[in-house]
A = this chain, B = another copy of it.
Amino acid sequence: MIKVAVVDDHEMVRKGIISYLVTEPEIDVVGEAKSGNEAIKLVLEKRPEVVLMDLLMEDGNGIEATREILQHEPNCKIIIITSFYDDEQVFPAIEAGAFSYMLKTATADEVVRAIRKAVAGEPIIEPKVANRMMNRLRKQEKKPHHDLTERELEVLMCIGEGMNNQEISAELFIGIKTVKTHVSNILSKLDVADRTQAAVYANRNGVIKTNKH
């Protein structure tokens, strides 16, 4: 019997997954959790071999939970099942030690197969996600803005909010000349032409956290 735990803040999703996992003879659903913290407790208690984990949850995220769980149970296979495949979700999850990465569009068969593969030591990566991973490896390994200094990142966030140099200087308690220096460095590091493009970059690449969902 493979012991499986289901973590998702949506009751309907948990019930959906469980409803067809219970029909599998070799799979035993040992518990469910609706948050990262609950998941950690659940895993320490029931010690499942496999955890199906949603990334986007109300309290904190599934990424921290994944990291935490693997710290205590390194052999636990965590399968991410989420709706998104943008870079800001995928890569932190992989880094945190997630074993497989699937989308919620997956069918019942695919989920069951992923669980069996996980126990056998074979990860399953969603094709669309795999594509992104290839691109990342091919292109640059990391986002351009990763070689910005702390201060430059702060300035970039201000630019991303639409501030001008005057406002940024007031916000960060530095001179306008200094702001200009930072801006110039940011533009050349991000390889963009002006602050407008930098603002677009910031808003599209997760430098600014928008509060959707």
Residues of A participating in the B interface, judged by any CB pair closer than 8 Å: 9-17, 19-20, 56, 58, 81, 83-86, 104-108, 111, 159-162, 164, 192-197, 199-201, 203-204, 210, 212-213
Contacts and interface: CB of A to CB of B under 8 A. Distances in A.
B196 A106 contact: no
List the number of copies, as a whole number. Answer: 2
Contacts of A161: 200
A162 B111 contact: no
Contact of A203 (B81, B193, B200): B200
Given A19-B19, A83-B83, A12 B196 contact: no
Query: Which of A162, A193, A210 lies at the interface centre, i.e. has the most chain B CB atoms within 10 A of its CB?
Result: A162
Given A160-B200, A162-B197, A106 B213 contact: no
Nearest to A14: B16
Contacts of A160: 200
Given A161-B200, A199-B199, A200-B162, A108 B15 contact: yes
